[in-house]
Amino acid sequence: MAPPRKKLFIKTYGCQMNVYDSERMRDVLAPLGYEPSDRPDDADLVILNTCHIREKAAEKVYSELGRLRAHKDEKADTDAPMTIAVAGCVAQAEGEEIMRRAPVVDLVVGPQTYHKLPELIAQTHRARGERLETEFEPVAKFDALGGDRHVEGYSAFLTVQEGCDKFCTFCVVPYTRGAEWSRPVDQIVHEARQLASKGVREITLLGQNVNAYHGSPPAGSEADGPWGLGQLLHHLARIGGLDRIRYTTSHPNDMDDALIAAHAELDCLMPYLHLPVQSGSDKVLKAMNRRHTFADYARIIEKIRAARPDIAISGDFIVGFPGETDGDFEATMQGVREINYASAFSFKYSRRPGTPGAALPMQVPEDVSSDRLQRLQALLETQQSAFNAQQIGRRLPVLFERAGREPGQLHGRSPYLQAVHCKAPAELIGKIAEVDIVAATRNSLTGALSAEADAA
Ligand code: SAH
Ligand code: SF4
Ligand code: F3S
C-alpha cells in the first residue's frame, strides 16, 4: 500500500551544493509519501537547508523560523501537525544553539546525514530518540543516497566531492562540511548516466573544492591511485546525451595540468571557469592562508587561456579582510584589471566565530569595507557588461531550459553561462540551438534563432 500523501516544503540557502542536497532530500523522502510543495503554510514537513558562510546568511534562518512558528501553531491541533527540520551548514555549526534558541524546531540534521532523515522524522513523530544528527559520514551519505534521482529540467547538479582541508582563515566550510572526500568514479558515472537517460543535457560537477577531486578509479581500471578531475571529465565526456559539462568551485592550487588540458581536449567541457582568488594583495592572501600569490594565480589563468582562448573567467573576492590597507585593496583592483573577469562575486568580509580570521587584530571598519566593495563591484560590473557586449554579432549554441518571461520567448544558457533570451518554439526546450546574439546587457544576452539553426 502506498504511504499517505504528505506535503514537503524545502527552502534552500547558500551554494549549489545545498541545491543538490535539497534535491536528494526530496528523493529520500519521496518513498515515505512526501510530495514537494511550493509553500510552507500547509506543509507537513518544512526543511530549511541553511548556509553559514556569512553572518547575514546564518541569521536568515532564525527570522524564517520566527515566521514558520505562526504556521506551525495554526496546525498544532489539527490531524496534520507541522514538523520543522533545520539542515545544512548552520545545522552543523550551531545545532545545539538552534535547539535552544528555537524550540519550534523538531530536528536538526547536518549535511552528511541526510540519508538518516526518514529515521529521524519517525523518531520525532514518536517524540523520542535523537533530534540532533550532525556526524560526518560522507561515505554513508552517498551510498545511501545512491537510489533513483527525480529530475526536472535539462541541466543538473552532481556532487562529486565534499568538504575542505584548506582552512582559509575566513571560512567556515572546513568546519561545517568536514574533511575533503571524493565520491568513487563508478558512483558518479552511475548517477550521470541516470541523469542523461532522463533527458539531462548538461551536468555541473560540484564540490567545495571540486578540482581537488581524487576518487577511487572505476572497477577493472588499471590505475594505481585515485583519479583526478581531469580524468573524471574525460570519462564522463563519453556518456551519450551529455552535451555539456561544467564544474565548480575550484581552488587555484588544485588547477593541475591534466585539468587545464581537458579544457583544450574536450568539446563538451564548457569554456567557463569559476576560480576565486579573493584578493590581489600577497600580504592579504597569506593572512587568508590561501597558499599562493597573485602572480601564481595570474600564471594559472594564462595557462588556461592558452588551452582554451575564449574561456570566460569568473571569481570570488573578499574586501575588508582584517589588516587590508588601501594599498592592499588597490592591488585587488589592479588584479581585476589584469585578469578581466566575465563575471564575479564579491563580498564584505564577515567575521565568523571559530575561524582564525575572527581573532585577528585590525578588523576593517564597516564604512571602509562598504566603500571598497562598491568600487570593486563597479569595476567588475563594467567588465561583465563588456564581456557580454563582445558576444553581439556572434552565433552561439544555446541550451534552452524553459519558457522565458515574455510570450513566445525561451530562456537558455550560452557556453559561457550567460542567460540568453530568444524567440523560439517551445519544442526547443531541452535542445541546443544556434542563436545569433543581437543585444547584451550586464546580466543577459538577447538573440534570434539562426536561420540555418538545426536543433540538436
Ligand atoms: N570553496 C570555494 C568557496 C566557498 S565559499 C573556494 O575556495 O573558493 C564561497 C565564497 O564566499 C568564497 O570564495 C569567499 O569569497 C566567500 N566567503 C567565504 N567566507 C567568507 C567570509 N567569512 N566573509 C565574506 N565572504 C566569505
Ligand atoms: Fe573555504 Fe578556503 Fe575551503 Fe574554499 S578553499 S571552502 S574558501 S576554506
Ligand atoms: Fe553555505 Fe555551506 Fe555552501 S556554508 S556556501 S551552504 S557549503
Q: Does residue 205 have a pLDDT over 90?
A: yes
At 122 the pLDDT is: 85
CB of 168 shorter than 6 A to ligand 2: yes
C-alpha cell at 395: 552565433
Residue nearest to atom 8 of ligand 1 (CA): 276
Task: Determine the distance separating the centroid of ligand 3 and the alpha carbon of 224, expressed in angstroms.
Answer: 33
Residue nearest to atom 2 of ligand 2 (CA): 168
Residue nearest to atom 4 of ligand 1 (CA): 208
Residue nearest to atom 5 of ligand 1 (CA): 53
Closest among 319, 321, 333, 388 to 358, alpha carbons compared: 321
Q: What lines the ligand 3 site, CB under 6 Å? A: 14-15, 17-18, 51-53, 88-89, 172-173, 176-177, 208
Say if strands 343-348 and 45-50 run parallel, antiparallel, or are unpaired.
Answer: unpaired
Do the Cβ atoms of 204 and 192 come closer than 8 Å? no
Q: Does residue 206 have a pLDDT over 80?
A: yes
Please state the atom number of ligand 1 nearest to the C-alpha of residue 166: 7
Task: Determine the distance separating the centroid of ligand 2 and the alpha carbon of 331, expressed in angstroms.
Answer: 21
- Per DSSP, helices labelled H in 277-400 are 282-287, 294-307, 326-339, 366-389
Closest among 206, 235, 230, 203 to 218, alpha carbons compared: 235
Q: What is the pLDDT of residues 87-108, one digit of tens each?
A: 999 999 999 999 999 999 999 9
At 136 the pLDDT is: 76
CB of 347 shorter than 6 A to ligand 1: yes
Pick the ligand that lies closest to the CA of residue 110.
3
Task: Determine the distance separating the centroid of ligand 2 and the alpha carbon of 291, expressed in angstroms.
Answer: 12
Provide the 10 A C-beta neighbour count for residue 199. 13
Pick the ligand that lies closest to the CA of residue 174.
2
**Mean pLDDT for all residues in the chain:** 94
Task: Determine the distance separating the centroid of ligand 3 and the alpha carbon of 305, expressed in angstroms.
Answer: 29
Range with lowest mean pLDDT among 82-86, 326-330, 399-403, 451-455 = 451-455
132 compared with 271, residue with greater pLDDT: 271
Q: Does residue 374 have a pLDDT over 70?
A: yes
At 148 the pLDDT is: 80
Q: What average pLDDT does the segment 233-242 reach?
A: 96
CB of 212 shorter than 6 A to ligand 2: no
Please state the atom number of ligand 1 nearest to the C-alpha of residue 317: 15
At 175 the pLDDT is: 96
In this prediction, residue 140 has a pLDDT band, given cuts at 50, 70 and 90, of: confident
Percent of the chain with pLDDT over 70: 97
CB of 208 shorter than 6 A to ligand 1: yes
Start and end residues for every CATH 3.80.30.20 domain found in the chain: 140-389
Pick the ligand that lies closest to the CA of residue 315.
1
At 179 the pLDDT is: 96
Start and end residues for every CATH 2.40.50.140 domain found in the chain: 395-455
Task: Determine the distance separating the centroid of ligand 3 and the alpha carbon of 415, expressed in angstroms.
Answer: 26
Q: What average pLDDT does the segment 387-400 reach?
A: 98
Please state the atom number of ligand 3 nearest to the C-alpha of residue 18: 6
Q: What average pLDDT does the segment 386-410 reach?
A: 97
Residue nearest to atom 5 of ligand 2 (CA): 166
Q: Which CATH architecture has domain 140-389?
A: Alpha-Beta Horseshoe (3.80)
In this prediction, residue 330 has a pLDDT band, given cuts at 50, 70 and 90, of: very high
Q: Rounded to a whole number, what is the distance in angstroms from the first to the last CA of the chain?
A: 42
Q: What average pLDDT does the segment 35-64 reach?
A: 94
At 130 the pLDDT is: 61
| CATH of span 395-455 | 2.40.50.140
In this prediction, residue 240 has a pLDDT band, given cuts at 50, 70 and 90, of: very high
> Which mutation among 53, 159, 171 tests ligand 2's pocket best, with the greatest number of atoms within 8 A of CB?
171
At 222 the pLDDT is: 87
162 DSSP β-pair partners: 181
In this prediction, residue 224 has a pLDDT band, given cuts at 50, 70 and 90, of: confident
Q: What is the pLDDT of residues 163-204, one digit of tens each?
A: 999 999 999 999 999 999 999 999 999 999 999 999 999 999
pTM: 0.95
Start and end residues for every CATH 3.40.50.12160 domain found in the chain: 6-139
CB of 54 shorter than 6 A to ligand 1: yes
**Cα-based distances in Å from 57 to 179, 352, 382:** 22, 11, 27
Q: What is the pLDDT of residues 207-223, one digit of tens each?
A: 999 999 999 999 988 88
In this prediction, residue 452 has a pLDDT band, given cuts at 50, 70 and 90, of: low
**Cα-based distances in Å from 73 to 83, 146, 449, 455:** 11, 36, 52, 52
Q: Tell me the CATH class for 6-139.
A: alpha beta
Please state the atom number of ligand 3 nearest to the C-alpha of residue 90: 4
Task: Determine the distance separating the centroid of ligand 3 and the alpha carbon of 173, expressed in angstroms.
Answer: 7
Contacts with 358 (C-beta within 8 Å, 6 or more apart), sequence order: 351, 352
Q: Does residue 70 have a pLDDT over 70?
A: yes
Q: Does residue 129 have a pLDDT over 70?
A: no
At 146 the pLDDT is: 64
Please state the atom number of ligand 2 nearest to the C-alpha of residue 316: 7
CB of 173 shorter than 6 A to ligand 2: yes
In this prediction, residue 391 has a pLDDT band, given cuts at 50, 70 and 90, of: very high
CB of 53 shorter than 6 A to ligand 1: yes
CB of 321 shorter than 6 A to ligand 1: no
In this prediction, residue 327 has a pLDDT band, given cuts at 50, 70 and 90, of: very high
Q: Does residue 453 have a pLDDT over 60?
A: no
In this prediction, residue 145 has a pLDDT band, given cuts at 50, 70 and 90, of: confident
In this prediction, residue 36 has a pLDDT band, given cuts at 50, 70 and 90, of: very high
Please state the atom number of ligand 3 nearest to the C-alpha of residue 93: 4
At 134 the pLDDT is: 76
At 115 the pLDDT is: 87
Q: What average pLDDT does the segment 279-295 reach?
A: 98
In this prediction, residue 135 has a pLDDT band, given cuts at 50, 70 and 90, of: confident
